[in-house]
Structure 1
Amino acid sequence: MLIYYDTSLQRFNMVSLVLIWLFFTGFFVVAYFKKDISFIDVGWGPAFSWLFFSFALTSFNQLGWLQYLVAALVFAWSLRLAIYLHGRNKKKGVDPRYQELSKDWKGHYWINAYFRVYMVQMLLCLIVAAPIIVVMLSSESAIDLISIIGGIIAISGLVTESVADSQMATFQKMTPKPGKFCRIGLWKYSRHPNYFGEIVFWFGVAIVALSAQHGYLGLIGPVFLTFLLLKVSGVPMLENKYKNHPEWPAYESQTRVLVPFPR
């Protein structure tokens, strides 16, 4: 069993990583011709589906219901996110976050973009996708109570994220003037309900992965994602943007950072 597991891992290292690299490099090439570095956002969701697909092609393990459950969850999440971000970015153009990120770059802009954005995103994807990798490396393929509970949690997170994004889109249509804070639906109670849904989704997938061999390693993904969103690129970046807004103190005191629940 150990040899069987190690052989799959070796094939993943040699072939799947190349396929994943080709995916991100392909998106970089498209971004180069579009002159839009933020095009990577559209590829973030599909990257996880591609990771699953590339590993399925190279794994010796036979796919079972456990793998199919993870595939269904990840495919649904990635498709929704890709459609949403494509529609959002098409209206906004180049994301200001990337303009801010690149202003201090020295040297060739697109070389910096490739290594500092696209290759970094690839690395982040591999870490967040830990539960997917664990499930695909495992010879266990049966669904049990733990994986069912994890699936329910993941679906609830996906629904929460979808509702939050839909409510924000509705608010932006109703309030074309920038500088106003969304206070409808989930946004009435949380400043980042979409991030909350994202975190819940990936913890759900990680709980599904607990049914696999070494499933506890899958928890690395959502824990790392939570750290990123709360401490690095998500909440801090957005809230720093609005900290000098005159309505910010009141808005901050009336809503929670993450969990959509009344104060």
Structure 2
Amino acid sequence: MGGPDGDRRTSRGRARLEAVPVAGATKPPTTRVREPLYVRTRSEARRRPRRRPRTGDADVRDRPPTAAPGVRARPIGQVLGVLASLLLPGLPSAWAAVAVLVLFLAVWAVSVRIRDVGIVDTFWGLSFVLVALVVALTADGDTGLRWLLLGMTAIWGVRLGGFLLARFRRHDSEDPRYAAIRDRHPDRFALYSLVVIFGTQAVAVLLVSLPIQVAARSDAEVGALVAFGVVLWAVGVAVEAAADEQQRRHSASGDDSVLDTGLWRYSRHPNKFGDACAWWGIWLVALTAGGTWWTLIGPAVMTFVLVRGTGEDDHDTDSDEEAAYVRRTSKFVPLPPRA
């Protein structure tokens, strides 16, 4: 039993017992030796650029979709995100968009019946009041800011709407601008006016009123910019109203001469300059809602429309008097007459 054969059998049995796994026993950790990293030389890096991370890589797959290592969110992404959220159903701006579209669709139907597209100008200012009213009633932002913006928009819009309505009723024929468009598209003018005239104005209203729509959803407290914004808005409304009244009186007098007195001595379009100031003032008030700097799209679009769109120089320079007035008078910003 204790000879060499017995020792060999005992050793083999002990080896088999050590090879059998025992319940509860932990497997000894295995150490994997990593190969040393390969460092590229500068010449190799120039010849073979490093592979960019792919979507399937672990470090890329686990990142949030909008996150990037070491890169902050870009402002354009924030702007697009807010613009997209404004169109979501149930939000105040979505209801405002529906209200504006319904309003312009109804006014278009009236224009087809009376064959006069000029009525759309009457509802230009009132459509902004509608937007401000809808967001003031449906938004959940700061109450004081919402109603302040509604009041400012209502004073501006109701005055402008009343002035344009009175001018529309005084004219027996269609505005020459729209009459020329009707002559160019006699067969399908109704559909053309719906898309080009009424649709364009509806989109412009929603863009210009962006400061009001965004600010109505903010809980930010009213800041110091409010005072400066209200002053700028008040000056703009006063200049616009005074210029419109001076123009109305000049037209009612039957005088065919150039209106170059009062505010019209310093600008060929002082009413439109006041209009732009009013909307830059509204934007400054809305800016008190933090993070809404990008809503300057609104007053910028309004200023562009006034200067390059409806604010184009409408003075006929066929006469020497008209030509002299155009040469010495600023087109938009009130300035001292040129010699």
* Residue pairs, 1:202-217, within 5 angstroms: 202-217=279-294
* Percent of aligned pairs sharing the same letter: 27
For 1:88, which of 167, 170, 181 is the aligned residue? 167
Deviation at 1:14, TM superposition (A): 4.2
Q: For 1:114-135, what per-residue CA distance to the aligned partner results, in whole angstroms no more than 9, with x for missing partners?
A: 1111111101111111211121
Q: Any gaps of 5 or more consecutive residues in structure 1?
A: none
Superposed, which structure 2 residues align to 1:49-128 within 5 Å?
Answer: 49-59=129-139, 61-93=140-172, 94-105=174-185, 107-128=187-208
**2:298 aligns with one of 201, 221, 228:** 221
Write the mapping of 1:125-136 to structure 2, written as runs, cut at 5 A: 125-136=205-216
Tell me the secondary structure at the aligned position of residue 219 of structure 2: coil
- Cα distance in 1 for residues equivalent to 2:126 and 2:164: 11
- Which runs of 5 or more structure 2 residues have no equivalent in the other structure? 1-77
**Closer/same/farther in 2, CA of residues 227 and 158 from structure 1, 3 Å limit:** same
From 160, 168, 188, the equivalent of 2:239 is: 160
Query: TM-score, normalised to structure 2's length?
Result: 0.70
Task: Look up the match of 2:6.
Answer: none
Q: Is the 8 A contact 1:167 1:185 kept in 2?
A: yes
Give me the CA root mean square deviation: 2.3
- Cα deviation for residue 245 of structure 1 reads 3.2
Q: Indicate whether 1:194 and 2:274 are aligned.
A: no
Counterpart of 2:229 in structure 1: which amino acid? G
Q: Secondary structure at 1:235's aligned position in 2?
A: coil
Q: Who is 1:249 aligned against?
A: 323
Shift of 1:181: 1.3
Report the AA paired with residue 105 of structure 1. H
Cα offset, 1:189, TM superposition: 1.4
Residues 234-259 of structure 1 show CA distances to partners (whole Å, capped at 9, x for unaligned) of 224x14xx133332221112211122
Q: Which residue pairs with 2:7 in the alignment?
A: none
Report which stretch shifted further, 89-98 or 150-159. 89-98
Shift in Å at residue 101 of structure 1?
2.6
Kindly state the Cα deviation for residue 69 of structure 1 after the two structures are TM-superposed: 1.4
Count residues in correspondence: 255
Asked if 1 retains the 8 angstrom alpha-carbon contact of 2:225 and 2:285, the reply is yes
Kept in 2, the 8 Å contact 1:66–1:147? The answer is: no
Relative distance call for 1:234 and 1:8 in structure 2 (3 A) is closer
Instruction: Return closer, same or farther for 1:92/1:30 CA change in 2, 3 Å cut-off.
Output: same
- Write the letter of the residue equivalent to 2:333: V
- The alignment status of 1:22 with 2:96, answered yes or no, reads no
CA contact (8 A) 2:141 2:216 kept: no
Q: Which whole-Å CA distance do the structure 2 matches of 1:103 and 1:197 have between them?
A: 33
1:68-117: per-residue Cα shift (whole Å, max 9, x none)? 11111100001100110011111123211111233222642211111111
Which of structures 1 and 2 has the bigger CA Rg?
2
| 1:7–1:234 Cα change, 3 Å | closer
Counterpart selection for 1:173 from 252, 258, 264: 252
Q: Which residue of 2 aligns with 1:259?
A: 333
Higher helix share: 1
